């Protein structure tokens, strides 16, 4: 692999450039990129130039830089999550239509939930998640569902902590977390009133393919006495989605 004098490969530097962008700052100047990616300006200029030629980055009218459509397209079209996302969106649309709250879909990635789809209800309780956003496994309802069904080594590492506190209701004690995970497995859902934001309740259920949990489907609703009544609709939707995925996988 071709390396710079610092021993870093071109790919490593290109990835650092892509990582300089964020939802909060999707548009950057080349000097901002050079600072954030900790690259000499000349190197940043050259790499941005080449990434732009490949369509992985793009320039706006003021020559500022953003992620290019081509990167999105390459990532999208062959993503193993494509069938999951597309099928889930149909059910999330139905759920949204019937219960009228924000719905989201998360997968286990490393030791976090990676949210791969969301449907925001107009006037929804603020959700902390965003597409492509992440949350720790112990704090979110989607995380509890995924952690309850995660490989033992992932579960052990997360249980050893540290477990970040968001509100007084966040589960931050190892024993309490172990009990919560056993409940999630027994009940078939995670119900988390105020675990991340005092005014919001997260509810999530497992999504399975061939019996194996591949994702968590969740709602974010106000933290009030109505929240509990939504658990059943969500459970039914999770089961229907799992069934549809089995059909698409040729298992039914």
Tokens of 54: 């490949």
Interacting span for a second copy (CB under 8 A) from 86-94, 140-148, 153-161, 188-196: 86-94
Smallest separation (angstroms) from a second copy to the CB of 51: 7
By CB under 8 A, is residue 71 in contact with a second copy?
yes
The dihedral over CA atoms of 89, 202, 233, 182, expressed in degrees to the nearest 10, equals 110
If one asks whether residue 81 binds a second copy (CB under 8 A), the answer comes out as yes
The least distance separating a second copy from the CB of residue 148, rounded to whole angstroms, comes to: 21
Distance of alpha carbon 241 from its chain centroid, rounded? Answer: 18
Number of other CB atoms surrounding residue 153 within 10 Å: 8
- CA-only gyration radius of the chain, Å: 21
Instruction: Decide whether 116 or 181 has the Cβ nearer to a second copy.
Output: 116
- Cβ nearer to a second copy, comparing 38 with 182: 38
Q: How far apart are CA 222 and CA 44, in angstroms?
A: 45
Decide: is 39 part of the binding site for a second copy (CB under 8 A): no
DSSP state of 204: E
73 binds a second copy (CB under 8 A): yes
Contact call for residue 14 and a second copy (CB under 8 A): yes
In angstroms, give the least distance from the CB of 61 to a second copy: 12
Helices (H), 26-66: 30-36, 41-53
Options 37, 48, 107, 213; binder of a second copy; rule CB under 8 A: 107
């Amino acid at each position: 692999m071709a390396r710079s004098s610092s021993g870093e490969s071109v790919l490593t530097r290109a990835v650092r450039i892509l990582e300089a962008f964020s939802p909060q700052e999707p548009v950057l100047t080349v000097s901002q990129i050079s600072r954030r990616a900790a690259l000499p300006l000349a190197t940043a200029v050259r790499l941005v130039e080449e990434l732009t030629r490949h369509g992985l980055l793009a320039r706006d009218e003021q020559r500022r830089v953003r992620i290019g459509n081509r990167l999105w397209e390459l990532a999208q079209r062959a993503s193993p999550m494509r069938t999951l996302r597309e099928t889930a969106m149909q059910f999330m649309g139905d759920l949204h239509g019937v219960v009228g709250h924000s719905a989201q879909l998360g997968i286990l990635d490393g030791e976090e939930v990676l949210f791969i789809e969301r449907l925001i209800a107009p006037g929804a309780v603020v959700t902390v998640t965003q597409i492509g956003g992440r949350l720790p496994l112990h704090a979110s309802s989607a995380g509890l569902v995924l952690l309850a069904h995660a490989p033992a080594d992932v579960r052990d590492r997360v249980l050893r902590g540290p477990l970040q506190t968001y509100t007084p209701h966040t589960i931050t004690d190892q024993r309490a977390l172990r009990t919560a995970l056993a409940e999630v497995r027994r009940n078939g859902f995670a119900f988390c009133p105020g675990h991340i934001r005092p005014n919001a309740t997260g509810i999530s259920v497992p999504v399975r393919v061939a019996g194996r949990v591949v994702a968590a489907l969740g709602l974010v609703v106000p933290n009030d006495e109505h929240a509990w009544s939504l658990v059943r609709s969500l459970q039914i939707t999770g089961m229907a989605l799992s069934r549809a995925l089995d059909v698409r996988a040729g298992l039914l």
